[in-house]
Amino acid sequence: MPKRNRDTIVIAVPKGRVLEQLGARLERAGIPTDALTAKSRKLVREDKASGLSYLLLKPDDVPTYVEYGAADLGIVGRDVLMERDYDVLAPVDLDIGRCRMMVCGLPKASLSGKRERPLRVATKFPHIAERHFRSKGTPVELIFCQGSVELAPLTGLADVIVDLVETGETLKQNGLVPLENIADISSVVIANRAGLKLRREAIKPILDALRK
Ligand code: PRP
């Protein structure tokens, strides 16, 4: 494990839209979040009184920090854990960041019937998409996109997309519709395996408070 203050519990959290819900969720569990929610560009936020230190990360990087032990705990969407394998424990579902992983496309798009070529699928989640269509026996050509994936069917880049849908507003405003549900997504707490054993006394009360 990387060298760091052994008395501090380090929690990796995702920057972005789940952070606000997360602050409220941690507060409800009695976990101090002033350092986390303060307006600042600092990426390490320490709460000296409670011995908690938050790392603000891109969501996809959270499991990496936890797997390597640079953080004891992390908060991450199930989509990130579905897309890649990480050697971490996922002990608590936080019931925040609720959304769906879906296949979406133009209203005229069809997922059934014979096709002359593989279905072209644009996505930030190629493994999830590949698994989904393989399980249905649908040949696909995957096109990796970093974001604004909704543009792909509109421009003819792809037939459909596999993406997260929360309110459905992005689909609606771009004339797309949901076609198939792949998975219900929410945020979970993940833990470093060795850290959970070595620092159990400090980490367990945090997990217990979040479980309530
Ligand atoms: C996510 C997702 C959708 C949108 C869905 O994108 O990829 O585009 O949110 O949310 P909605 O159903 O509430 O409209 P994000 O805003 O994270 O940006 P991105 O397109 O750059 O990934």
Model pLDDT, residue 115: 86
Q: Give the pLDDT mean for 151-160.
A: 98
Write the DSSP string, the chain. Answer: -----TTPEEEEEE-STHHHHHHHHHHHTT---HHHHSS---SEEEETTTTEEEEEE-GGGHHHHHHTTS-SEEEEEHHHHHHS--S-EEEEE---S-EEEEEEE-TT--SSS--SSPEEEEES-HHHHHHHHHHHT--EEEEE-SS-TTHHHHHTS-SEEEEEESSSHHHHHTT-EEEEEEEEE-EEEEE-HHHHHHTHHHHHHHHHHHH-
* pLDDT of 1 strictly over 90: no
Atom of ligand 1 nearest to the CA of 170: 14
Model confidence pLDDT, tens digit, residues 112-154: 878 899 999 999 999 999 999 999 999 999 999 999 999 999 9
Q: Separation of 185 CA from ligand 1 center, angstroms?
A: 14
Q: Separation of 191 CA from ligand 1 center, angstroms?
A: 27
Q: Separation of 196 CA from ligand 1 center, angstroms?
A: 33
Atom of ligand 1 nearest to the CA of 149: 20
Model pLDDT, residue 77: 97
Asked if 188 and 78 count as a contact pair (C-beta separation under 8 A), the reply is yes
Q: Give the pLDDT mean for 98-104.
A: 98
Q: Give the pLDDT mean for 89-102.
A: 96
Asked if 57 and 177 count as a contact pair (C-beta separation under 8 A), the reply is no
Q: How far apart are CA 85 and CA 80, in angstroms?
A: 9
The preferred substitution site among 15, 160, 165 for testing ligand 1, maximizing ligand atoms within 8 Å of CB, is 165
Q: Separation of 148 CA from ligand 1 center, angstroms?
A: 7
Q: Give the pLDDT mean for 36-55.
A: 93
Ligand 1 binding residues, C-beta < 6 A:
147-148, 150, 163-170
Q: Could you give the dihedral angle defined by the CA atoms of residues 148, 153, 159 and 162, in that order, rounded to the nearest 10 degrees?
A: 30
Return the amino acid letter for 175.
Answer: G
pTM reported for the whole predicted model = 0.93
